[in-house]
């Protein structure tokens, strides 16, 4: 598999709070790939003269609005990664965007509307079950948080701060992290699928809604994420939640291959995006998320890589962990999130600018 990347944009519905404060929608999906953002402070008269300058359009590989279901988003962005990982390559799904714009909804979802993580796991187990015969598979799951450059195990937070080490094969691993063998989750999903077949429903994604145990596990882990001391209006989240699924494929009479899938609910981008868009140098500090900035820098370097340009993955924990899963032979999907509200205009513009640039990531083998 040559590296392939995709940047998607998802606009969530207007929230009750936004409607209550008199906000109106300024971000619209124009077609399958184009999103338009209108400047809410533009004077109504000005629209007549300079309507073009008051609105800007942004192109993505795929764009979703409030009418898109979790299933639609899954099929258009992540479903194809299942085959990538079972064949031994690496893949990454990143949910990017300001706090409150739908990252956790996309990745984790709700019991009734499960997100990408549960849907992907369900199909992964099904693919492995179907591929019996020529290969044996071992699947394990870890779920961790990176907060202030410290790694915590979300499946067992009592382990404290865990270090990153490179193993003998050059793979970066988190020392001491809980690796949940997939057998348990596999059982859950197999039962879920059987139950579903009994009801005569067609395979996959909907089965994700029948993955209560995996959902519970992820939801419980997500609740272990570090909460910011509540800021003036809302708690902005500077913690990255990383679900890592490792698929080990042992070919009969031969090769062993590891495919790693990272599904990442990134920290809120509200400060980092501005810093990035203004081209400021990355600096450490309470207000800037080192991992998010380093990720942006890596994506920028990958997107306009003059041959041989050095990419500094060592800049942060997140980029070290993803070293073999960004660029190279890997598949990367970024789903950027925005609110449609007029009151979120500045943040939406930053996010669209950042994601629009990420769209030009080209990986080479």
Of 188, 165, 189, 190, nearest to 175 by C-alpha is 165
By CB neighbour count within 10 A (0-12 exposed, 13-18 middle, 19+ buried), where does 171 fall? middle
The minimum distance between CB 145 and Mg ion, in angstroms, equals 12
Q: Which stretch binds ligand ADP (CB under 6 A): 54-62, 103-111, 153-161, 273-281?
A: 103-111
Of 358, 359, 166, nearest to 272 by C-alpha is 358
104 counts as binding ligand ADP under rule CB under 6 A: yes
Report what 88 binds from Mg ion, ligand ADP, none; CB cut-off 5-8 Å by kind. Answer: none
348 counts as binding ligand ADP under rule CB under 6 A: no
Instruction: Please work out the total of residues on this chain that contact ligand ADP, with binding judged by CB under 6 A.
Output: 12
Kindly give the pairing relationship between strand 55-59 and strand 180-181: unpaired
CA distance 264 to 163: 19
Would you give the DSSP letter of residue 134?
T
The annotation status of 279 as a binding-site residue, yes or no, is no
Q: Count of CB atoms within 10 A of residue 213's CB?
A: 15
100 counts as binding ligand ADP under rule CB under 6 A: yes
Report what 102 binds from Mg ion, ligand ADP, none; CB cut-off 5-8 Å by kind. Answer: ligand ADP
13 vs 328, which CB is nearer to ligand ADP?
A: 13
17 vs 50, which CB is nearer to ligand ADP?
A: 17
The annotation status of 112 as a binding-site residue, yes or no, is no
137 vs 262, which CB is nearer to Mg ion?
A: 262
Spacing of C-alpha 224 from chain mean position = 18
The minimum distance between CB 227 and Mg ion, in angstroms, equals 11
Kind plus residue range of the DSSP H or E element containing 273: helix 272-277
Kind plus residue range of the DSSP H or E element containing 209: none
Binders of ligand ADP among residues 13 to 72 (CB under 6 A) are 13, 15
Kindly give the pairing relationship between strand 91-96 and strand 331-338: parallel
104 counts as binding Mg ion under rule CB under 5 A: yes
* Chain residue at closest Cβ approach to ligand ADP: 102
The minimum distance between CB 181 and Mg ion, in angstroms, equals 28
Would you give the DSSP letter of residue 201?
-
* Binding-site ranges for Mg ion (CB under 5 A): 104
* Binding-site ranges for ligand ADP (CB under 6 A): 12-13, 15, 97, 99-105, 337
């Amino acid at each position: 598999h040559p590296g392939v990347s995709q940047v998607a944009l998802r606009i969530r519905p207007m929230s009750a709070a936004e409607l209550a404060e008199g906000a109106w929608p300024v971000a619209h999906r124009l077609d399958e790939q184009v999103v338009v953002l209108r400047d809410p402070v533009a004077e109504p008269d000005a629209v007549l003269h300079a309507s073009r300058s008051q609105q800007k359009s942004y192109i993505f590989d795929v764009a979703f609005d409030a009418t898109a279901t979790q299933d639609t988003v899954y099929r258009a962005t992540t479903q194809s990664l299942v085959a990538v990982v079972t064949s031994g390559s690496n893949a990454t799904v990143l949910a990017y965007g300001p706090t409150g714009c739908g990252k956790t909804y996309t990745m984790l979802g709700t019991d009734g509307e499960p997100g990408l993580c549960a849907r992907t796991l369900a199909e992964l187990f099904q693919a492995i079950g179907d591929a019996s015969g020529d290969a044996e598979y071992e699947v394990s799951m870890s779920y961790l948080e990176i907060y202030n450059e410290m790694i915590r195990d979300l499946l067992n937070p009592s382990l404290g701060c865990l270090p990153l080490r490179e193993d003998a094969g050059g793979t970066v691993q988190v020392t001491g992290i809980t690796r949940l063998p997939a057998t348990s989750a596999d059982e859950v999903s197999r039962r879920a699928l059987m139950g579903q077949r009994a009801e005569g429903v067609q395979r996959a994604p909907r089965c994700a809604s029948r993955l209560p145990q995996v959902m519970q596990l992820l939801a419980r882990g997500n609740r272990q994420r570090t909460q910011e001391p509540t800021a003036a209006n809302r708690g902005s989240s500077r913690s990255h939640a990383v679900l890592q699924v490792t698929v080990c494929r042992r070919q009969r009479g031969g090769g062993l291959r590891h495919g790693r899938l990272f599904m990442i609910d990134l920290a809120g981008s509200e400060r980092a995006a501005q810093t990035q868009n203004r081209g400021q140098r990355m600096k450490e500090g309470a207000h800037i998320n080192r991992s998010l900035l380093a990720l942006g820098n890596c994506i920028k370097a990958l997107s306009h890589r003059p041959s041989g340009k050095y990419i500094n993955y060592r800049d942060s924990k997140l980029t070290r962990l993803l070293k073999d899963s960004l660029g190279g032979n890997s598949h990367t999907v970024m789903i950027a999130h925005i609110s449609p509200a007029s009151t979120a205009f500045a943040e939406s513009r930053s996010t669209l600018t950042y994601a629009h640039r990420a769209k030009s990531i080209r990986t080479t083998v």
